[in-house]
Amino acid sequence: MSEFIYLFRGSGPTGSPEQMQQQMQKWADWAKDLSSKGHLRGGDPLDRSGKVLQGNEKTVTDGPYAEAKDVVGGYMLIEAEDLSVATELSTGCPIFGSGGSVEIRPVLKMSV
Q: Count of alpha carbons within 13 Å of 112, Cβ hemisphere only? A: 2
Asked whether residue 94 carries a pLDDT value surpassing 90, the answer given is yes
Q: What is the pLDDT of residue 71?
A: 80
Give the DSSP letter of residue 107. P
Q: Tell me: the pLDDT tens digits for 36-72?
A: 999 999 999 888 888 888 888 888 887 666 666 678 8
Q: How many CB atoms lie within 10 A of CB 34?
A: 22
Rounded mean pLDDT of 96-108?
Answer: 93
Domains and CATH numbers, the chain: 2-106 (3.30.70.1060)
31: pLDDT strictly greater than 70: yes
pLDDT of residue 69: 62
Q: What is the pTM of this model?
A: 0.84
